[in-house]
Structure 1
Amino acid sequence: MNKTTPVEIGIILYSGAQQSAVLGLTDLFNMANRIAINDHRSNVPALRISHWQTQDPDVPPHRTPDSCPEAPPGQLMALILPPSLNTPMSVQEAAHLAHWLRERHAEGIILSSVCAGAFVLAATGLTDNRRMTTHWTHADALQQRFPSVQVDTDRLIIDDGDIITAGGLMSWLDLGLQLVDRLLGSAVMLETARMLLVDPPGREQRYYSVFSPCLTHGDAAVLRVQHWLQASGAKDVALSTLAAQARLEQRTLLRRFQKATGMTTTEYCQRLRVNRARELLQFSTTTIERVAWEVGYSDTGAFRKVFMRIVGLTPSEYRRRFGSATT
């Protein structure tokens, strides 16, 4: 592409789109464009931002009159489905927009989503057998509605080249910076992040999500075990103890537990323990060794390894970032 040709990022104003994210993304991209221009970066194209209206299902999405007010549109390079505070759109509601997005994707345009926008993007079928993320509270619904999608809500942003998905409501910041990096370069992206006083891309959603186990699976025996583990803090995780609580044979429990919860008993207990450890790290000044002991680990090294795998930060890093207790 000729560097003198402006590039354009389109933001889709679908029904229920969060207006603060639409305006925030617009401001972010305009700031990145000004930084590139003011620094006289001759090798960086100008950036245009457009808004695309989709309210009428019988009319294809179109640029709104306020799009690119200071200059003609550029070469459309990416489209963004912003987050929504409403219930995610159904497959039927998203059908007309999904068809249009598939056509744009076939033209080489990057498609991206934030939070509940993932449901519209998944309705295109373009994310089948591919990884994508959304807000962690939407993970189960997205997986159930689109079983061929590999939902990974540990990740705040997944850049898969032609498809980029971002997790929580405010991860539009991360997506915006990711697109600036892709289209204007890392130098402009880092300067934009500094001006906005935000971290550059690289955070992970699992730093913030909490373990919310499925309790509506209908298996009463497994549910007894879950309630007992919750009440006991998962201190005793011996399979024989769990089987006794369930009143099942051990092999039967293992099979039914994984079917009901989607996890092995070991994985489930680790997540319960780490959830409790996060509270202790955030709201107390208890030593890491004592936190490990409190949640059921006699080996602090093993605790650190499990915590790092699940949260993505070491216990010390987690406390430095999120701790609120005073010493």
Structure 2
Amino acid sequence: MDAKPAVVELGVLIYPGAQLAAVHGLTDLFAVANRVAAEHQSAQLPRLRVSHWQVEGDQPPVRDHDSDPGTDAGLVAVVIPPSIGGFSAAQVPAGLIHWLREQHARGATLGGVCVGSMLLAESGLLDGRSATTHWTSAKAFAERYPHIKLKADTPIVDDGDLITTAGLMAWSELGLRLVDRLLGPSIASATARFLVVEHSDSASACGSNFAPILNHGDAAILKVQHWLQGNGATDVSLTAMAERAGLEERTFLRRFRAATGLKPTEYCQHLRVGKAREMLEFTNGTIDHIAWTVGYQDPGAFRATFRKITGLAPSEYRTRFGNLTPPHISR
């Protein structure tokens, strides 16, 4: 008897003013991804289960749609669609804020599209982190959330457990990012081709953007992962990580690898290279400066690690995937 594939659930939030085209578009995108994955006939690929969560008053969201009813194993991701008008961050229900924090604490990745990123900002989870939002909301966002590093000129900020996008129609790219994480870059690319939508070539060409495993159920290790995401894994030590987890070092090493599939040093390398990839794509900073920013004192060590993970030198990566023109050099 063939083993049934694992099921992973992605929740799509419906709040007052949410763009329903994004809600149903994401639902269709994940359905297409399931069909493409099924054509590969790989029992190792999970099946995506999509649920809609309706915000009603000040209560936590309630499930009002499920594409594959069954045992509730917890959400691996929550997507907050954009709003096309009438959204006020000051009126976000307390029940929704608590629910978002709860899902994050359980290991779900949270993604906000356009002004949907404001809901993440209201939760406080983005404090001290980088994020983006729609250009029309950038000024108000920066004023209301001074502790968030706003990158208004960056179309998507993938910070592992928290992802924000700037465009009103960027729900498709966020959806494809999640497909890439859960089903792999080839399935994400095939899904994009079927839907005839753009998808970043960097993931499929250089391996997926780093997708940390967060829904493993080890609260002590998840606490350290969230901490590493917040500080960019710069200037951290095994001792500091073990202390953050409240574990003896040997126990921490064993449980960290069991939960994430990586040694702490490897995990930190992937985090740093992921941030470097974003900077190479969306900024004109020098490679040495980027190396220093993501935590490498030795640019040579950074270049070696970057090539090991992506297969390209940083300069080659920027040439292929950079979204900015080189700065003008006066003669």
Name the SS for the 2:169 alignment partner. helix
The 2-side partners of 1:182 and 1:175 are apart by: 11
What does the per-residue CA deviation read over 1:58-111, in whole Å, with 9 as the maximum and x for residues that have no partner?
A: x221110x3125666554100011000114322342433112101111111111
What does the per-residue CA deviation read over 1:25-82, in whole Å, with 9 as the maximum and x for residues that have no partner?
A: 000001001111122122110110000011221x221110x31256665541000110
Is residue 20 of structure 1 aligned with residue 37 of structure 2? no
Is residue 42 of structure 1 aligned with residue 54 of structure 2? no
Name the SS for the 2:164 alignment partner. strand
Give, in angstroms, the shift of residue 187 of structure 1. 1.2
What does 1:277-316 align with in structure 2 at a 5 Å threshold?
312-313=324-325
Q: Is the 8 A contact 1:14 1:54 kept in 2?
A: yes
Give, in angstroms, the shift of residue 314 of structure 1. 6.5
Aligned residue identity for 1:79 = V
What does the per-residue CA deviation read over 1:266-296, in whole Å, with 9 as the maximum and x for residues that have no partner?
A: xxxxxxxxxxxxxxxxxxxxxxxxxxxxxxx
The 1-side partners of 2:121 and 2:18 are apart by: 16
Percent identical residues: 45
Aligned residue identity for 1:179 = L
The 2-side partners of 1:135 and 1:127 are apart by: 16
Task: Report the counterpart of residue 11 of structure 1 in structure 2.
Answer: 12
Give, in angstroms, the shift of residue 5 of structure 1. 2.4
Is residue 82 of structure 1 aligned with residue 81 of structure 2? yes
The 2-side partners of 1:9 and 1:312 are apart by: 33
What does the per-residue CA deviation read over 1:238-289, in whole Å, with 9 as the maximum and x for residues that have no partner?
A: xxxxxxxxxxxxxxxxxxxxxxxxxxxxxxxxxxxxxxxxxxxxxxxxxxxx
The 2-side partners of 1:101 and 1:84 are apart by: 18
Q: Is the 8 A contact 1:128 1:149 kept in 2?
A: yes
The TM-score normalised by the length of structure 1 is 0.59
The TM-score normalised by the length of structure 2 is 0.58
What does 1:1-327 align with in structure 2 at a 5 Å threshold?
4-57=5-58, 59-64=59-64, 66-69=65-68, 75-201=74-200, 312-313=324-325
Name the SS for the 2:92 alignment partner. helix
Q: Is the 8 A contact 2:16 2:87 kept in 1?
A: no
Aligned residue identity for 1:60 = P
Q: Is the 8 A contact 1:3 1:44 kept in 2?
A: no
Name the SS for the 2:163 alignment partner. strand
Q: Is the 8 A contact 1:94 1:123 kept in 2?
A: no
* Greater Rg by CA: 1
Provide the aligned C-alpha RMSD in A: 2.4
Name the SS for the 1:9 alignment partner. strand
Q: Is the 8 A contact 1:114 1:168 kept in 2?
A: yes
The 2-side partners of 1:177 and 1:50 are apart by: 17
Question: Structure 1 183/173 Cα, relative in aligned 2: closer, same or farther at 3 Å?
Answer: same
The 2-side partners of 1:164 and 1:67 are apart by: 23
Q: Is the 8 A contact 1:130 1:150 kept in 2?
A: yes
Give, in angstroms, the shift of residue 149 of structure 1. 0.7
Matched positions, count? 206
Name the SS for the 1:17 alignment partner. coil
Q: Is the 8 A contact 1:91 1:120 kept in 2?
A: no
Name the SS for the 1:179 alignment partner. helix
The 2-side partners of 1:55 and 1:145 are apart by: 25
The 1-side partners of 2:109 and 2:191 are apart by: 21
Question: Structure 1 202/191 Cα, relative in aligned 2: closer, same or farther at 3 Å?
Answer: closer
Aligned residue identity for 1:160 = D
Q: Is the 8 A contact 2:132 2:154 kept in 1?
A: yes
What does the per-residue CA deviation read over 1:115-155, in whole Å, with 9 as the maximum and x for residues that have no partner?
A: 11111110111101111011111111111111111111221
Aligned residue identity for 2:114 = C
Aligned residue identity for 2:10 = I
The 2-side partners of 1:110 and 1:139 are apart by: 23
Name the SS for the 2:140 alignment partner. helix
